[in-house]
């Protein structure tokens, strides 16, 4: 989203997204004009995009759309977005997002091109009309989305939208540089700040980045504008140097990535060379990061828990305790997959209820 933004920093950040799009063959759409709807411009833009795709033949339309705010930049374009998406056997999931200490963060998220998404976005935009007494705060469209997800009615089956959402650990695709004034001194900040990346070969500033070497994205929400731009520029200077050294010239690698074997050879050669010089490459190949294993395990865990909840109620049981335990697990799958302890507790409770019923 670039309308009303004159700073070259944010335009430069868009180029990092284009790198990733070129690397993997994604289309890129940039919101460059104000639709005249204030806070709702983001959701209107997405609704239009989803509608445009749905008008295309099924075999030519996009399946998913990733939204990223202007203050989010791609650190590692070698990460394919597809690894964050649900497998084909989980077609009921239409939103993949993440949370921070305030709850839902809609600075970076994925939506499926599907009627569910049209219904959800429409409901979120109509929220202040239908609920005039609710104060949506300063992040209006974000809060409207959060409250829409929590509704127990609406949608195609009038059961709400919760069953179609899932939250992944934020650090996977929406890691923050932690300079937000609102969390300085908080329990979260004190717990995580010593685990963040404060320095790295090629960075000139001190950072508090939640991710790790090879992480895909850095996001800078809630940070003073001048500080934010300085932090972003520092990252982008590092990334430009890496890509320029890796591929020469401006780092335009569109033609060089057509051959995946050649791409990996060049990447590994560069990584070996920089390690020999006492530094290390940030833009790791995806198989050298932990993301492939982590996302695969995430979906396997989700699938197993979902199957358990379905198994518990497959016999048409009228055991209220068992039905409630199964429902609690389904809610945890929507709200807390990024918090394994909560999901584990719900699984254990349901398994105990099932064991009691079998006795």
Task: Please report whether residue 276 resides in a domain.
Answer: no
User: Is 159 in the same domain as 14?
Assistant: yes
Task: Please report whether residue 283 resides in a domain.
Answer: no
Mean pLDDT confidence for 236-263: 64
User: Is 224 in the same domain as 154?
Assistant: yes
Report the pLDDT value the prediction gives residue 112, as an integer from 0 to 100: 98
Report the percent of the chain where pLDDT is more than 70: 84
285 band by pLDDT with thresholds 50, 70 and 90: confident
Task: Determine which of 140-149, 235-244, 257-266 has the lowest per-residue pLDDT on average.
Answer: 257-266
Task: Please report whether residue 284 resides in a domain.
Answer: no
Task: Determine which of 64-68, 93-97, 194-198, 215-219 has the lowest per-residue pLDDT on average.
Answer: 194-198
Tell me the pTM: 0.89
Report the percent of the chain where pLDDT is more than 90: 55
Task: Please report whether residue 275 resides in a domain.
Answer: no
Which tokens hold the place of 140?
């209006």
User: Is 181 in the same domain as 45?
Assistant: yes
User: Is 57 in the same domain as 201?
Assistant: yes
In terms of average pLDDT, the best of 63-77, 182-196, 235-249, 273-287 is 63-77
Task: Please report whether residue 319 resides in a domain.
Answer: yes
106 band by pLDDT with thresholds 50, 70 and 90: very high
User: Is 122 in the same domain as 172?
Assistant: yes
CATH number at residue 222: 3.90.550.10
Indicate the helix (H) or strand (E) that contains 301.
Answer: helix 291-313
Angle subtended at Cα 108 by Cα 309 and Cα 31, rounded to the nearest 5 degrees? 135
| Closest C-alpha to 105, from 220, 15, 258, 242 | 220
Mean pLDDT confidence for 289-317: 92
User: Is 215 in the same domain as 348?
Assistant: no
Task: Please report whether residue 277 resides in a domain.
Answer: no
133 band by pLDDT with thresholds 50, 70 and 90: confident
Report the pLDDT value the prediction gives residue 280, as an integer from 0 to 100: 62
d(C-alpha 212, C-alpha 260), whole Å: 24
pLDDT in tens, 30-48: 887 666 566 788 999 999 9
Mean pLDDT confidence for 15-29: 91
Residue 29 has pLDDT above 60, yes or no: yes
User: Is 165 in the same domain as 252?
Assistant: yes
User: Is 129 in the same domain as 254?
Assistant: yes
Contacts of 203 (CB under 8 A, 6+ apart): 234, 235, 238
Which tokens hold the place of 111?
């939506």
Which tokens hold the place of 162?
């919760």
Mean pLDDT value across the chain = 86
Residue 249 has pLDDT above 60, yes or no: no
Task: Please report whether residue 100 resides in a domain.
Answer: yes
Structural domains in the chain (count): 2
Of residues 351 and 316, more confidently modeled: 351
User: Is 259 in the same domain as 295?
Assistant: no
pLDDT in tens, 288-301: 899 999 999 999 99
User: Is 201 in the same domain as 248?
Assistant: yes
170 band by pLDDT with thresholds 50, 70 and 90: very high
User: Is 295 in the same domain as 258?
Assistant: no
In terms of average pLDDT, the best of 38-47, 97-106, 137-146, 175-184 is 97-106
Contacts of 322 (CB under 8 A, 6+ apart): 312, 313, 350, 353, 354, 357
258 band by pLDDT with thresholds 50, 70 and 90: very low
In terms of average pLDDT, the best of 21-30, 104-113, 283-292 is 104-113
Residue 349 has pLDDT above 50, yes or no: yes
Q: In terms of residue numbers, what domain contains 314?
A: 291-358
User: Is 333 in the same domain as 299?
Assistant: yes
Which tokens hold the place of 189?
């900040």
| Closest C-alpha to 228, from 194, 183, 179 | 179
DSSP string spanning 155-196? TTTTS-SGGGEEE--HHHH-EEB---GGGTTSHHHHHHGGGS
Contacts of 38 (CB under 8 A, 6+ apart): none
Contacts of 257 (CB under 8 A, 6+ apart): 22, 23, 263
d(C-alpha 99, C-alpha 121), whole Å: 18
Task: Please report whether residue 274 resides in a domain.
Answer: no
d(C-alpha 312, C-alpha 310), whole Å: 5
């Amino acid at each position: 989203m670039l309308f009303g933004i004159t700073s070259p920093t944010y335009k430069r950040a868009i180029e990092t997204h284009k790198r990733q799009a070129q690397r993997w063959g994604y289309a890129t759409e940039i919101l460059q004009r104000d639709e005249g709807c204030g806070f709702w411009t983001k959701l209107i833009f997405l609704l239009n995009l989803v509608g445009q795709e749905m008008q295309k033949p099924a075999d030519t339309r996009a399946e998913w759309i990733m939204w990223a705010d202007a203050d989010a930049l791609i650190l590692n374009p070698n990460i394919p977005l597809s690894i964050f998406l649900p497998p084909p056997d989980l077609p009921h999931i239409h939103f993949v997002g993440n949370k921070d200490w305030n709850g839902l963060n809609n600075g970076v998220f994925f939506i499926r091109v599907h009627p569910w998404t049209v219904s959800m976005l429409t409901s979120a935009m109509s929220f202040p009309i239908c609920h005039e007494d609710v104060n949506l705060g300063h992040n209006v469209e974000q809060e409207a989305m959060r409250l829409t997800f929590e509704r127990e009615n609406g949608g195609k089956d009038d059961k709400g939208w919760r069953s179609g959402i899932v939250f992944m650990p934020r650090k996977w695709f929406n890691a923050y540089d932690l300079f937000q004034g609102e969390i300085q001194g908080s329990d979260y900040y004190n717990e995580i700040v010593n685990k963040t990346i404060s320095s790295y070969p090629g960075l000139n500033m001190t950072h508090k980045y939640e991710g790790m070497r090879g992480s895909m994205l850095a996001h800078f929400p809630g940070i003073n504008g001048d500080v934010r731009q300085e932090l972003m520029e520092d990252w982008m200077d590092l990334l430009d140097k890496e890509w320029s050294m890796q591929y020469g010239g401006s780092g335009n690698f569109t033609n060089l990535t057509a051959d995946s074997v050649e791409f990996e050879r060049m990447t590994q050669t560069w990584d070996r060379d920089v390690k020999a010089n006492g530094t290390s490459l940030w833009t790791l190949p995806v198989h050298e990061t932990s993301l492939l294993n982590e996302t695969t395990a995430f979906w396997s865990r989700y699938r197993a828990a979902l199957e358990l909840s379905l198994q518990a109620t497959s016999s048409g049981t009228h055991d209220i305790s068992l039905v409630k335990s199964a429902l609690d697990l389904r809610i945890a799958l929507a709200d807390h997959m990024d918090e394994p302890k909560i999901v584990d507790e719900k699984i254990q409770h349901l398994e105990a209820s099932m064991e009691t019923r079998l006795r």
